[in-house]
């Protein structure tokens, strides 16, 4: 099976940088994804890392180290609208994606 660990909650202020870590245990690893979910809404895809290294998409970046079974999501220039839950997810097979329990990010003024 697969298991993922991420912090339950992170707080930061507007304009700051925050890093959300994710460690995983799985077999047949294909890649690590990140999703954002605002309260009451459905998750939306943010990024995917299939290979080691950093992927950048605007203010958000995601990093993967396959040898360490570790990844992180980096959010820069935080805005109030970034307050949401963030999930890492492991693609460990052709058809399925296993999610972590999520990290709630609270951005304050």
Partner 1 sequence: SQTIHQWPATLVQPVGSPLSLECTVEGTSNPNLYWYRQAAGRGLQLLFYSVGIGQISSEVPQNLSASRPQDRQFILSSKKLLLSDSGFYLCAWVSGSAGELFFGEGSRLTVL
For binding to partner 1 (CB under 8 A), which residues are involved?
30-31, 33, 35, 41-45, 48, 50, 87, 91, 95-102
Taking a C-beta distance cutoff of 8 angstroms, is the pair 70, 62 a contact?
no
Using DSSP, state whether 31 is helix, strand or coil.
Answer: strand
Token pair belonging to 42: 């459905």
Smallest distance, partner 1 to C-beta of residue 15, A: 28
Residue whose structure tokens are 């079974």: 69
Cβ-based nearer residue to partner 1, 8 or 67 = 8
Distance CA 44, CA 28 (A): 24
Cβ-based nearer residue to partner 1, 70 or 99 = 99
Smallest distance, partner 1 to C-beta of residue 53, A: 15
Cβ-based nearer residue to partner 1, 72 or 91 = 91
Token pair belonging to 6: 């991420």
């Amino acid at each position: 099976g697969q298991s993922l660990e991420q912090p339950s909650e992170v707080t930061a202020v507007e304009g700051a940088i925050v890093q959300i870590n994710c460690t995983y245990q799985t077999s047949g690893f294909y890649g690590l994804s990140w999703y954002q979910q605002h309260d009451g809404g459905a998750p939306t895809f943010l990024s995917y890392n299939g290979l080691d290294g950093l992927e950048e998409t605007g203010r958000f970046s995601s990093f993967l180290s396959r040898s360490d079974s570790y990844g992180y999501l980096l959010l820069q220039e935080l805005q109030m609208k970034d307050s949401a839950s963030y999930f890492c997810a492991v693609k460990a097979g052709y058809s399925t994606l296993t999610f972590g329990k999520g990290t709630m990010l609270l951005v304050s003024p």
